[in-house]
Amino acid sequence: MTAQPNAYYPNLLKPLDLGFTELKNRVLMGSMHTGLEDREKKFPRLARYFAERAEGGVAISVTGGFSPNLEGSFYPGASKLSSSREIKRHLQVTGAVHEAGGKIALQLLHAGRYAYHPLSVAPNRIKSPITPFAPIALPGWGVKKQINDFAEAALLAQKAGYDGVEVMGSEGYFINQFLVEHTNRRDDEWGGSFANRMKLPVQIVQRVREAVGPEFIIIYRLSMLDLIENGSTWEEVVLLGKAIEQAGATIINTGIGWHEARVPTIVTSVPRAAFTWVTEKFRQEVAIPVCTTNRINDPQVAEDILSSGQSDMVSMARPLLADPHFVIKAQSGRASAINTCIACNQACLDHTFEAKEASCLVNPRACRETELNYLPTAQPKNIAVVGAGPAGLAAATVAAERGHAVTLFDKANCIGGQFNMAMRVPGKEEFENTLRYFGQLIETTGVKLELNTEVTAAQLKGFDEVLIATGVKPRVPNIEGLDHPSVLYYTDVLRGNAPLGNKVAVVGAGGIGFDVAEFITHAGSSSTLNPEAWFKEWGVDRSYQTRGGLIAKEPSPPTREVTLLQRKDEPLGKRLGKTSGWVHRAALRDKQVRMLSHCEYFKIDDRGFHILVDHKPQLLEVDNIIICTGQESLRDLMAPLEAAGIKAQLIGGADVAAELDAKRAIDQGSRVAAQI
CB of 294 to ligand FAD, least distance (A): 20
**116-124, 322-330, 525-533, 658-666 -> range binding ligand FAD (CB under 6 A):** 658-666
Q: Does 481 bind ligand NAP (CB under 6 A)?
A: no
Q: Say how far apart CA 8 and CA 12 lie, in whole Å.
A: 9
Q: Say how far apart CA 465 and CA 649 lie, in whole Å.
A: 8
Q: Does 342 bind ligand SF4 (CB under 6 A)?
A: yes
Contact residue for ligand SF4 among 290, 321, 422, 646 (CB under 6 A): 321
Active site residue 173: yes
Q: Say how far apart CA 57 and CA 51 lie, in whole Å.
A: 10
Contact residue for ligand FAD among 68, 257, 319, 387 (CB under 6 A): 387
Residue 425: name its binding partner from ligand FAD, ligand SF4, ligand NAP, none (Cβ under 5 to 8 Å by kind): ligand FAD
Q: Say how far apart CA 296 and CA 315 lie, in whole Å.
A: 8
Residues 6 or more apart whose Cβ sits within 8 Å of residue 31: 62, 63, 64, 65, 107, 109, 166, 168, 221, 317
Q: Does 343 bind ligand SF4 (CB under 6 A)?
A: yes
**20-28, 114-122, 465-473, 592-600 -> range binding ligand FAD (CB under 6 A):** 465-473
Q: Say how far apart CA 466 and CA 462 lie, in whole Å.
A: 10
Residue 577: name its binding partner from ligand FAD, ligand SF4, ligand NAP, none (Cβ under 5 to 8 Å by kind): ligand NAP
Rounded to the nearest 5°, which phi and psi values hold at 21?
A: -155, 170
Instruction: Select 361 or 506, whichever has its Cβ closest to ligand SF4.
Output: 361
Q: Say how far apart CA 412 and CA 387 lie, in whole Å.
A: 9
Contact residue for ligand SF4 among 247, 322, 468, 604 (CB under 6 A): 322
- Residues facing residue 169 across a β-bridge: 222
b/e sequence 513-552, b meaning 16+ C-beta within 10 Å: bbbbbbbbbbeeebbbeebebbbbbbbbbeebeebbbbbe
**86-94, 186-194, 462-470, 564-572 -> range binding ligand NAP (CB under 6 A):** 564-572
Helical H segments across 231-331, by residue range: 234-247, 276-283, 299-307, 318-322, 326-331
The mark string for 344-383 relative to ligand FAD (x by CB under 6 A, - otherwise) is x-x-------------------------------------
Among the listed residues 325, 319, 314, 292, the one whose alpha carbon sits nearest the alpha carbon of residue 11: 314
Of 173, 490, 544, 601, catalytic: 173
End-to-end CA distance of the chain: 49
Instruction: Select 63 or 345, whichever has its Cβ closest to ligand SF4.
Output: 345
CB 36 within 8 A of CB 49: yes
**89-97, 152-160, 356-364, 483-491 -> range binding ligand SF4 (CB under 6 A):** 356-364
Amino acid in the structure at residue 276: T
Contact residue for ligand FAD among 169, 324, 390, 426 (CB under 6 A): 390
Which is it for the CA torsion 197, 202, 208, 211, positive or negative? negative
Instruction: Select 169 or 471, whichever has its Cβ closest to ligand NAP.
Output: 471
Instruction: Select 232 or 418, whichever has its Cβ closest to ligand NAP.
Output: 418
Helix (H/G/I), strand (E/B), else coil: 490? helix
Q: Does 574 bind ligand NAP (CB under 6 A)?
A: no
**144-152, 210-218, 339-347, 619-627 -> range binding ligand SF4 (CB under 6 A):** 339-347
Contact residue for ligand SF4 among 347, 385, 648, 651 (CB under 6 A): 347
Contact residue for ligand SF4 among 218, 361, 408, 586 (CB under 6 A): 361
Q: Does 436 bind ligand NAP (CB under 6 A)?
A: no
Residue 665: name its binding partner from ligand FAD, ligand NAP, ligand SF4, none (Cβ under 5 to 8 Å by kind): ligand FAD
Contact residue for ligand SF4 among 12, 218, 278, 360 (CB under 6 A): 360
- C-alpha distance from residue 303 to each of 11, 147, 165, 250, 387 (Å): 6, 37, 26, 22, 37
CB 540 within 8 A of CB 263: yes
Q: Does 455 bind ligand FAD (CB under 6 A)?
A: yes
Helix (H/G/I), strand (E/B), else coil: 316? strand
Contact residue for ligand FAD among 469, 507, 520, 626 (CB under 6 A): 469
Can you give the binding site for ligand FAD, defined by CB under 6 A? 344, 346, 386-392, 409-412, 417-419, 421-422, 425, 454-455, 469-472, 494, 511-512, 515, 634, 637, 652-653, 660-663, 665
Can you give the binding site for ligand SF4, defined by CB under 6 A? 318, 321-322, 341-348, 360-362
Q: Which residues are catalytic?
A: 173
